[in-house]
Every structure is written in structure tokens, then in C-alpha cells.
Amino acid sequence: MTQTRYSRSRSSDTEKENTGGGGGAAMRVIVPLQGVVQGRGGLVLGSIIPCALFYFLQFYLKRHRNDLDDQNNSNSPGLNSTTGSASSGKLAELPALTRNLSRGLPSPRSPRGPVSVSGRVSGIVKGADSPYYVGLRRVKEDPYDELSNPNGIIQLGLAENKLSLDLVNHWLAENAEQVILRNGKELSISRIATYQPFDGLMEFKVAVAGFMSQVTAKAVSFDPSQVVLTAGATPAIEILSFCLADVGNAFLVPTPCYPGYDRDVKWRTGVEIIHVPCRSADDFNLSIAALDRAFNQAKKRGLKVRGIIISNPSNPVGNLLSRGTLYSLLDFAREKNIHIVSNEILAGSTHGNEEFVSIAEIMDLDDVDRKRVHLVYGLSKDLSLPGFRVGVIYSHNEEVLAAAKKLTRFSTISSPTQCLLISMLSDAKFVQTFITINRERLQRTYALFVAGLKKLGIKCIKSSGGFYCWADMSGLIRSYSEKGELELWDKLLNIAKVNVTPGSCCHCIEPGWFCFCFATLTEKDIPIVTDRIQKVSETCKLN
């Protein structure tokens, strides 16, 4: 077992050193204090101890005044009666206070208190009230349906692509059962039932590597032996966080960013995120200067930065990183000796005329820097199969691969799904057709939706990939603040009945930006959405 950060052995030594009632009582304050300083004990001790010391000080001052009076009256109840020196006399006051204190502290030994859970639980309970999750819940309760629930809430807050599911479905209808169980022969479950390598079947890695190559228009050839498969991109990000950073370290993340990073990067790992804001003046493009500033500020605060996490195409804005920017990014990472994690999960969902350049192309060039670059991918977006849970970590760093492989035991892809997708992805004709048609449909829907918003006077940042329109609604918010933005979000959700994601969830520092996922809409839906938004925007303009 590795060294724990919160070693209690020191406190037991100090306990041995201080004999006497005063010392023991003092330890009951000092030990938890050490815990607070070291980060253990959390909120409870962190607030009780300072409060207790404050009250003690008041109490002491009061008592001291009383004692002076008492001494003057010659019958001293004796602050100083039990111990010799004034200082331990002070400590002798503590027993009365600390005994109350320790009863107040949640202790697993107390049969009265409820059995306690870890500090992690409270963290996520707070997060669940963010608009991102509230919106998702509301849509679940009251989902729009053209026929059965035309007044329901339209979902534009979940990055799903429904535009090309029919293509996948068609393939499955023809091939599924055959593939999963029969594999061209008689039905046999033993092939898929037994334990498989946790990081995925080699056949599936080959198929996925081939798919990734097609997605980048064959610009990159991905080596299956550098592929680690995970149950979705969510654990892929978390696994990389565990591998590349220690508790208390940090990653630089340009914003606006995917709201889920707060959970994926930070929750269980104890790693921090430092947001590096991008500006509308730059069309929210990445600025190396801003990264540099953030890195230096972190250093001053004593935070060790271990890497940068970028998305390309970016989520939610939809920008592509140019070749030049990728090179600058690599220079920056090299200079600071940190990692780069490139989340390219939307690489197959580009719909503009710009060329998509995967960081893998850059990785192919320089041997040394290969070790610091790691790619995350998945089939949830590009193949519209989020339910099947397929994520990828791609890296040339053997140590990272070795550690990541072991960690996939906690997030393995189900074997029947792997078998099904091996067949699907190996069907080159299907894959090519799918990628092309999917892109066309994304482009068309995007264009229609942006035009629809433009008619309402709402401008979007030009996006080249992904499922979002990143729209500037700052003209419609009452106060140019997060509060104003959330008020508008609320109106959109409850009056317009449209669930969109407010920019603050994506940690955007400029209020008023919203992201609309258009890939769940049919052409028919678009005017319905824009009409509903218009109703709300008119009331906003009137105010």
C-alpha cells in the first residue's frame, strides 16, 4: 500500500511526549487541527476548531477577569490550582470545552450518530443541482414528443446525435444476431462469455483503430497495440487523470469546456482543474499566452500543473485546433514538461470546410514528445452509440498504457457489444457511407438551426464540428452576470420548454452564452424550437 498522505503516527508521538491532564486535553484540539491542516477532517473540524478557539478565547478572557476578582477575594477556585504554570493552567480550561467538542464531532465510535460516509459524497450532492443536471431531469419528466406530448420540453442540452441512427439500425437489422452469437457458425456463447482482457479484445482494438483512421480521413494510422478500451470516454478521462496526476495536482482546461470534466477529472482523483478562459474576441480560440499565465499563477499558488486537457473539435464551441496551434501547444507542454490530453471524441462529427487535424498526426513526427501526448476517443458521438459504452485511450507512453490497462478492470466494455461492433466497424463500406452521410446531415441541420437563430437576432460562433451551436444571448439577459444568464435559462426551460445549457455550466467567464445541441432535431423540429425561443426572447426584450 502506498504511503497515505494523512499519517496519524505523528500525532500519537506527540501524545506520548505531553503527559499530564492539560497536555492530553490539548492534543484533542491539536490532533484534529493537524488533520485540518493536512486536509483531513474537512468542513466539520475546519469550522468547529476555529469557532471553538474563538469561544475559548472569549471564555478565557471572561474567566481571567473573574479570577482576578476571585484572587482579590482570596478564595481562588484556581485556574492555577491544579497545575503550576500559567500556560498549562490555560490548557486546563480546555477539558470542559473539548469534552463538549468531541461529543459534537461525528465519530464512528458513537453509537448515537448515523453511520458516516466518505467526504466524496457531499461533493457530488452539491453538483447535482447545477442547471446542467436539473435540465436533464426536467426533460426526463416531461419529454417532448411530436404526437403524444407536443408541449413537452425539447432536449437541446444533451450531446446526442440522432441524425444517422437509421443507418446503424439498418446494418444491425441485417447482421446483429448472426454476429453476436453465431459468428458464422453454430450458436456458441463460450467465446464471449468467459473472462476477456480488461482493456478489450485485440480484434476490437484493430477495428476501432481502423475506424479512428477513417475518421481522420486516413491521415493517421492508429496502432491497435497502443489502444486501451474503456466503458465510455468518461472513465478514459478519469483513468488518465489517475495516471498523470497525484492528489492535489492540477490540469489546465481551456473554457468554455464540457461540464462533465468536473466529475471525470476531479471527483475521485482529488486532482484540481484550473480553468483557462478563452474570449469571444478570439472566437473562443485557445491562447497559449493565457495558458502560460495560468501555469505561472498556479505555480505561485503552489499548485503543480501536470497537464493540459483540450477537446478538438472543442466542446461546446465547436472550434478546430489548427496545425499551428497544435505545434505551439506541444512546444508549451515540452517547455513546462507536462502532458497533453486531447479529447477528440467529436472528430468524426466535423461538418465545416475546415480541415480536422488530429494531435495523433503531430505525435507521429517527434519521438520524444510522443510520451507526453494522449488521445481520448469513443463511439458515443461519432457512431451515436452512447449506450454501448465504448471509449478509447490512445498513447505512445508505455508506462501510461501499462497502468491504464490495469485500471480498465473497473471499466471494461461488455463482450457481446465488442463482438457486435467488431463486425460493424470492419464493414469498411458501411463505415465510409456512415461517416459521409452523417457529416452531410450534421452540416445541413447546423446550417438550418443557425439560420433560425439568426432570424431571432441571435448570433453563433462559427462551428466546424460537434453537435452544438454556441450562441450569444447576452442581448436578452437582464443583468450581465451569471445570475442574469441563469434567469434566462430558467425562462427557456420553464416557459419556452427548451432545455439548453447555460455557458456558466461550461465555466464560460462571459455571461450570456448558451449551447444548443442541434443533432437531436429533425428539420421539422427546428421551426418549433425557434418559435418557442422567440416567445421568450420577445418578453426579454420588452423588460
Partner 1 sequence: MAIEIEQPRVGLSKVAVSKTHGEDSPYFAGWKAYDENPYHETSNQSGVIQMGLAENQVSFDLLEKYLEEHSEASSWGKGAPGFRENALFQDYHGLKSFRQAMASFMEQIRGGRAKFDPDRIVLTAGATAANELLTFILADPGDALLIPTPYYPGFDRDLRWRTGVNIVPIHCDSSNNFQITPEAMEAAYQSADSMNLKVRGILITNPSNPLGATIQRSALEQILDFAVNKNIHLVSDEIYSGSTFSSSEFISIAEILETRGYKDAERVHIVYSLSKDLGLPGFRVGTIYSYNDQVVTTARRMSSFTLISSQTQHLLACMLSNKEFSENYIKTNRERLSKRYDMIIKGLKKAGIECLKGNAGLFCWMNLSPLLEKPTRESELALWKVILNEVKLNISPGSSCHCSEPGWFRVCFANMSEQTLEIALERIHKFMEQRKRN
Least Cβ distance, residue 322 to partner 1 (angstroms): 24
Considering beta carbons, is residue 314 or 417 the nearer one to partner 1?
417
Contact, 347 vs 382, CB < 8 A? yes
| Buried-exposed string 260-291: b where 16+ CB fall within 10 A, e elsewhere | ebbbbbbeebbbbbbbbebebeeebbbbeebb
H-helix or E-strand containing 125?
Answer: helix 120-127
Considering beta carbons, is residue 306 or 491 the nearer one to partner 1?
306
Least Cβ distance, residue 58 to partner 1 (angstroms): 32
Considering beta carbons, is residue 172 or 456 the nearer one to partner 1?
172
Considering beta carbons, is residue 60 or 133 the nearer one to partner 1?
133
* Spatial strand order in the sheet of 391-395: 227-230, 391-395, 373-378, 339-343, 305-311, 250-255, 272-277
Can you tell me the distance from the alpha carbon of 270 to that of 457, in angstroms, rounded to the nearest whole number?
A: 43
Least Cβ distance, residue 344 to partner 1 (angstroms): 19
Least Cβ distance, residue 177 to partner 1 (angstroms): 5
Considering beta carbons, is residue 402 or 428 the nearer one to partner 1?
402
Can you tell me the distance from the alpha carbon of 53 to that of 61, in angstroms, rounded to the nearest whole number?
A: 12
Can you tell me the distance from the alpha carbon of 471 to that of 514, in angstroms, rounded to the nearest whole number?
A: 5
Least Cβ distance, residue 145 to partner 1 (angstroms): 12
Least Cβ distance, residue 165 to partner 1 (angstroms): 5
Least Cβ distance, residue 263 to partner 1 (angstroms): 7
Considering beta carbons, is residue 334 or 459 the nearer one to partner 1?
334
φ and ψ at residue 88, rounded to 5 degrees: -75, -20
Question: What cell numbers appear for 388 in the block?
Answer: 454501448
- Distant-in-sequence, close-in-space partners of 286: CB < 8 Å, separation ≥ 6: 254, 278, 310, 319, 321, 325, 329
Q: Cell 462559427 appears where? A: 462
Considering beta carbons, is residue 327 or 410 the nearer one to partner 1?
410
Least Cβ distance, residue 12 to partner 1 (angstroms): 6
| Interaxial angle between packed helices 428-455 and 202-215, expressed in degrees from 0 to 180 and rounded to the nearest 10 | 50
* Nearest CA among 477, 297, 439 for reference residue 356: 439
Considering beta carbons, is residue 167 or 526 the nearer one to partner 1?
167
Contact, 376 vs 237, CB < 8 A? yes
Considering beta carbons, is residue 6 or 480 the nearer one to partner 1?
6
- Distant-in-sequence, close-in-space partners of 275: CB < 8 Å, separation ≥ 6: 253, 254, 255, 257, 294, 507, 509
Considering beta carbons, is residue 236 or 450 the nearer one to partner 1?
236
Least Cβ distance, residue 267 to partner 1 (angstroms): 8
CB atoms within 10 A of CB 140: 10
Q: Mark out the alpha helices in 142-283 (DSSP H runs).
A: 165-177, 190-193, 202-215, 233-244, 261
Considering beta carbons, is residue 58 or 169 the nearer one to partner 1?
169
Least Cβ distance, residue 115 to partner 1 (angstroms): 5
Can you tell me the distance from the alpha carbon of 481 to that of 289, in angstroms, rounded to the nearest whole number?
A: 26
| Interaxial angle between packed helices 21-38 and 9-17, expressed in degrees from 0 to 180 and rounded to the nearest 10 | 160
DSSP assignment of 346-400: TGGGB-SSSPP--HHHHHTT-TGGGGGEEEEEESTTTTS-GGG--EEEEES-HHH
Least Cβ distance, residue 320 to partner 1 (angstroms): 26
